[in-house]
Amino acid sequence: MRISVASVMRLLSVAALLLPVGSRCGPQEAQHSNKSDSSAAYKNPDLPIAKRVDDLVSRMTLEEEASQMGYASPAIPRLGIPYYNWWSEGLHGFGRAGRATVFPQAIGAAATWDTDLIRRTAVAVSTEGRAKYEEAMATNYVGANRGLTIWSPNINIFRDPRWGRGQETYGEDPFLTARLGTAFVEGIQGEDPYYLRAVATPKHFAVHSGSELLRHITDVNISPYDLEDTYLPAFRAAVVDGGAGSVMCAYSGVDGQPDCASDLLLRNHLRDAWHFQGFVVSDCGAISDIWDNHHYTPDSVHAVALAIKAGTDLSCGDEYRDVPKAVKEGLLSKDDVNRAVKRLFTARFRLGMFDPPGRVPYANTPLATIDSAVHRALALRSARESMVLLKNDKGILPLGPSVKTIAVIGPEADLVVALEGNYNGTPLNPVTPLVGIETRFGKQDRLVYAQGSELVSEVPVPIPATALQPARFGEETFGLGGLTGEYFHNANLEGVPAMTRTDQSVDFDWAGLDPIPAAPTSRFSVRWTGTFTPPAPGDYRIGVDVGGCYPCKDADNFRLYLDGKLLEERPTTPDLMIPIRFTDTGSHRLRLEYSHSRGGMNRNLSFGGDVAGITLLWDPPAEALRNEAVAAAQKADVIIACVGITRDLESEENAGMRPGVPGFYGGDRTDIALPQPQQDLLKLLAATGKPVIVVLMSGSAVAVDPDLASAILAAWYPGEEGGTAIAETIAGDNNPAGRLPVTFYKSVADLPPFDDYSMRGRTYRYFAGQPLFPFGFGLSYAQFEYSGLKLSSTELSAGSDLGVDADVRNTSQRDGDEVAELYLTFPKSENAPIRALRGFTRVRIPEGETRRVHFSLQPRDLSEVNDAGERIIASGDYTISVGGGQPGSGLSVVESHFTITGTETLPK
């Protein structure tokens, strides 16, 4: 086999990357030149990356180095260094950059229990990110969310369902999170030994999962046991096993030190114990928190010095402008700065930013990959696999041919935001549950629809199709109602419309894209016309919300007319809900005009992209909505009730969430029950005597009363194809096999205080009560039986591996996926969890067939943590269980026992 010189040099460079920082070539002293040297070592792609980085950094002034340590790093023309913005999001699709494939939110992805699918999803995310980056380079785009450093995955432990950002995580279990997070990291970064497709950034290191409003001041006093047992394992796996190129430190503090200046986290664990060679980026503004909120240093300069010395190399902020001052005052050395900047440029070189495109395997990724047919099919597969069937009385699902008429009811049925989750891209053709069910089951002949309720009291929701009638029917008419939409290629409603269609509701997210095919995103306008019919007399509020990012929001304008009278407009008046009293149920002429002319106005803003979108809202009398729902239910054989919450209710530091909304505060939840208006709706629907199928859309556990439903399907925030997957599951085209990645508790009364970070009484590992639905639970339309459990040995020496095999038989007459879960029960001790997940595999089993599943448990899988925070393998008797869920969940499980002799302490 012939090996090229270039290949040898690549391998040598990779080897250099694996060396400790201190063993690499030190900085070279060089005179700072006013022009780039074409023969400079850093320009030679055949040299090892470490040598190239050393050469480049040696040519920078201190001020130039400092400029590269903020997330918006300016160009240094004399050295040929281009501008680069480090901030890009890719949680479940390349985010905040316009059109992208929108996959199920992370918590839904976790419900698939499918590492291969997570890896494939991450490949799609970073591939679309590469395409966005190539376009940005070609068009000289300046702004965030077009780069190759992707600030995902969020692998914090979802320890409490009240946390508003739990939707971004892979759930409550360290082992499941570690496996899925590692797969995501590997998919983002690619397979090439030399170049990275993108850099993954596991976040937020490390104990971030508490009050959103207090996150900038929270200091967590955590026991060594909980830190090592719960909060660190997923980060260790992402770094040690996944090779993550970056880590983001959190706003909060641990044991008295802010996370982004923490010796315990950044030095003792990340660098020393785990030998992390990548760069650390702060959460946005977290360096300022060190002195401004944690009051850990007297001023910004000291905070900057402390963070850099601890190992935070990049600031998502502008605090590192004080680096030269910190050096001048003796708080930082030039070597401290060099070390951080070298880490940053090592990443940029590995991304191929200084090499000819022909050498970089991921370069020139075409825009056609974005939301391609292949990626959309992957999003649909992920949505299908994420569906978790929690209840199915008398086999009501899948719906059979005897069901003639279906009532689709609920505030989530036709809500685009309920598909997206947060940190999302923009889906081109999002499929809501209503649209998916219409497509699968038919329209007027089989389907009735009613909104039924608001999400929460007095918070407006989109006006549904049932209250609207188009002026004339255009393309894509669904028959349930709507408005005639005329779409123009200009911002002034001029000329002949480029497209006319019927929109069931005005509820659009057009961030970074144009609703008119093959049109530029900078300027377009829409006129919607038709009639509005209130379902009952009473007091209403009607208004408009436009998608916006402060301060560019006022560039989108609209006018709303009712019966020829101007109700509201922008920019003359702010967004308001206009009170209107209707004395009857007559029809009223309605016209809404929307103009988008922002263009490149916000190209330099942090979030990047061209934000656009509009929603026509109402706040109707609750009784009117409920009466409509009951009337629709009475016409149907079965009711599909789409209920839940949205990213606007559970969210990140949502200080803007208006006070007084029951169950929610500042982005977090104060109650885990279904909001009261939706509870009232379900009670009315159940009282009709018709079967009620609840489709629950949320990013966290919601305590839905099982007595109000014949079936419950947890659909999460399922992404752009979510409605298709929901409809296919209800119809039986998709056999659900998702499993809960979190415990569904009955109420907050079952939980310790939210601000208590101890794991006692939390999650399936330490909760001794009876959950509503346990972690790992999920039903199927097929039935599976486990047998033949065999261990490679029943007596092990500490430090040995253990092989586990079992047979899984599909005893039904339907093909299906099964998730085999392996749990370990430890010798009894004060700290030992009730049980701990230590293996899982998702397998397809045809009807009547048997598959042998195998698990290989490594010493770390057989370990636990002692009081001192040491990970040990203890002597004693252990129990292995393998089945479709936890022991006691009602699903088939087989058990066996083994003994470990001796003890062993493992590395951190």
Active site residues: 283, 650
The sign of the CA dihedral 157, 162, 164, 168 is: positive
Extended strands (E) in 633-751: 638-644, 664-665, 668-669, 692-697, 711-714
Q: Are 200 and 246 in contact (CB under 8 A)?
A: yes
Q: Give residue for tokens 């093959």.
A: 518
- Read off the amino acid at residue 613: G
Length of the chain: 908
Smallest CA-to-CA distance from 745 within 760, 722, 761 is with 761
Smallest CA-to-CA distance from 758 within 112, 36, 64, 159 is with 159
Question: Rg (Cα) of the chain, in Å, rounded?
Answer: 28
CB atoms within 10 A of CB 193: 10
Distance between CA 260 and CA 573 in Å, rounded? 43
Q: Which residues contact 515 (CB under 8 A, 6 or more apart)?
A: 487, 499, 508, 524, 526
C-alpha distances (whole Å) from 125 to each of 193, 369, 443, 455, 615 are: 20, 10, 34, 31, 28
Q: Give residue for tokens 């019927």.
A: 502
Q: Are 463 and 535 in contact (CB under 8 A)?
A: no
Q: Are 20 and 275 in contact (CB under 8 A)?
A: yes
Structure tokens at 99: 């059109």
Helix (H, G, I), strand (E, B) or coil at 342: helix
Structure tokens at 881: 């269980």
- Cis before residue 621, ω within 30 degrees of 0? no
- Read off the amino acid at residue 746: K
Distance between CA 636 and CA 29 in Å, rounded? 80
Extended strands (E) in 472-555: 483-488, 499-503, 507-509, 524-532, 538-546
DSSP-assigned letter for residue 26: P
Distance between CA 122 and CA 188 in Å, rounded? 5
220: number of CA atoms within 13 Å, CB side? 31
